Amino acid sequence: MHHLDITGLEARYGEHTVLSGIDLTVGRADVIGLIGPSGSGKSTILRVLMGLLPPVGGTVKLDGTAVNYADAAQVRRLRERIAIVFQQYNLFQNMSVLENVCVAPVKIKKRPRREVEEEARALLAKVGLGDKLKRYPDELSGGQQQRVAIVRALALHPEILLLDEVTAALDPELVSEVLDTIRLLAKEGMTMLIVSHEMAFIREVASRVVFMAGGRIVETGAPAQIFDAPVEARTQDFVSKILRH
Amino acid sequence: MSYTLQFGQIWPFLPRLLEGAVVSLQIAVLAFCGGLLIGTVCAGVRSFGPRWLARIVGLYVVFFTNTPQLVQIYFLYFALPDMGILLSSFMAVVIGMTLNAGAYLTEIQRAGFESRRASEMEAAEVMGFSRIQQIRYVILPHVARVLFPPLSNQFIIVTLGTSMAAVFGVEELTGEAFNINAQTFRSIEIFSVTAGIYVVLTLAASVGLALLGRAVFRARTELI
**How high is the mean pLDDT of chain A?**
92
Please answer whether residues A151 and A124 qualify as being in contact, where contact means their C-beta atoms are separated by less than 8 angstroms: yes
Structure-model confidence comparison of residues B136 and A102, the more confident one: A102
Within 10 angstroms of residue B134's Cβ, the number of other Cβ atoms is 20
B116 belongs to a structural domain: yes
C-beta atoms of B218 and A136 within 8 A? yes
What per-residue confidence (pLDDT) applies to A190? 94
Please answer whether residues B124 and B133 qualify as being in contact, where contact means their C-beta atoms are separated by less than 8 angstroms: yes
Q: What is the mean pLDDT of residues A80-88?
A: 94
B187-220 helix and B14-48 helix, angle to the nearest 10 degrees: 40
C-beta atoms of A80 and B128 within 8 A? yes
Q: Which of residues 175-194 of A touch B (CB under 8 A)?
A: none
What per-residue confidence (pLDDT) applies to B221? 36
Report the candidate in B196, B188, B158, B190 with the shortest Cα–Cα distance to residue B175.
B190
What per-residue confidence (pLDDT) applies to B1? 59
Q: How close are the terminal C-alpha atoms of chain B, in Å?
A: 66
Please answer whether residues A104 and B129 qualify as being in contact, where contact means their C-beta atoms are separated by less than 8 angstroms: yes
B97 belongs to a structural domain: yes
B165 belongs to a structural domain: yes
What per-residue confidence (pLDDT) applies to B217? 64
pLDDT category of residue B81 using cuts at 50, 70 and 90? confident
**Which residues in chain B have Cβ-Cβ distances shorter than 8 Å to A139?**
none
Is pLDDT above 50 for B124?
Answer: yes
Q: Which of residues 212-231 of A touch B (CB under 8 A)?
A: none
Q: What are A195's strand-pairing partners? A: A34, A164
C-beta atoms of A93 and B128 within 8 A? no
C-beta atoms of A90 and B125 within 8 A? no
CA distance A79 to chain B (A): 6
- CA of A88: which chain B residue's CA is closest? B119
Please answer whether residues B90 and B170 qualify as being in contact, where contact means their C-beta atoms are separated by less than 8 angstroms: yes
B141/A contact by beta carbon, under 8 A: yes
What per-residue confidence (pLDDT) applies to A241? 87
Q: What is the mean pLDDT of residues B152-180?
A: 92
B9 belongs to a structural domain: no
Q: What are A13's strand-pairing partners? A: A16
**Which residues in chain B have Cβ-Cβ distances shorter than 8 Å to A86?**
119, 122-123
Is pLDDT above 60 for B220?
Answer: no
The 3-state DSSP class for residue B3 equals: coil
C-beta atoms of B119 and A90 within 8 A? yes
Domain count, chain B: 1
B16 belongs to a structural domain: no
Q: What is the mean pLDDT of residues A179-200?
A: 93
Structural domain including A200 reads 4-244
- CA of B119: which chain A residue's CA is closest? A90
pLDDT category of residue B158 using cuts at 50, 70 and 90? very high
Structural domain including B91 reads 30-220
CA distance B116 to chain A (A): 11
B25 belongs to a structural domain: no
Interface residue of A52, A92, A106, A145 to substitute, partner B, most B CBs within 10 Å: A92
Question: A8-17, A107-116, B3-12, B102-111 — which is least confidently predicted?
Answer: B3-12
Model confidence pLDDT, tens digit, residues B30-80: 999 999 999 999 998 988 889 999 999 999 999 999 999 999 999 888 888
**Which residues in chain A have Cβ-Cβ distances shorter than 8 Å to B142?**
93-94
What per-residue confidence (pLDDT) applies to B219? 39
**CA pair distance B155, B150, nearest whole angstrom:** 9
Domain count, chain A: 1
pLDDT category of residue B222 using cuts at 50, 70 and 90? very low
pLDDT category of residue A134 using cuts at 50, 70 and 90? very high
Is pLDDT above 50 for B155?
Answer: yes
pLDDT category of residue A52 using cuts at 50, 70 and 90? very high
**CA pair distance A106, A101, nearest whole angstrom:** 9
What per-residue confidence (pLDDT) applies to A1? 57
CA distance B142 to chain A (A): 6
Q: What are A35's strand-pairing partners? A: A211
B78 belongs to a structural domain: yes
Model confidence pLDDT, tens digit, residues B169-181: 899 999 999 999 9
Please answer whether residues B15 and B197 qualify as being in contact, where contact means their C-beta atoms are separated by less than 8 angstroms: no
Phi/psi at A190 (5° precision): -70, 135
Model confidence pLDDT, tens digit, residues B2-28: 788 888 888 889 999 999 999 999 999
Element (H, E) at A19: strand A16-26
B6/A contact by beta carbon, under 8 A: no
Closest CB from A88, A107, A108 relative to B119 = A88
Is pLDDT above 90 for B127?
Answer: yes
Domain with A151 in it: what CATH number?
3.40.50.300
What per-residue confidence (pLDDT) applies to A188? 92
What per-residue confidence (pLDDT) applies to B223? 33
A169/B contact by beta carbon, under 8 A: no
pLDDT category of residue A170 using cuts at 50, 70 and 90? confident
Is pLDDT above 90 for B136?
Answer: no
B76 belongs to a structural domain: yes
B116/A contact by beta carbon, under 8 A: no
Distance of CA A102 to the CA centre of its chain: 20
Is pLDDT above 90 for B84?
Answer: no
Is pLDDT above 90 for A100?
Answer: yes
CA distance A59 to chain B (A): 20
Give the ipTM of the model, two decimals please. 0.86
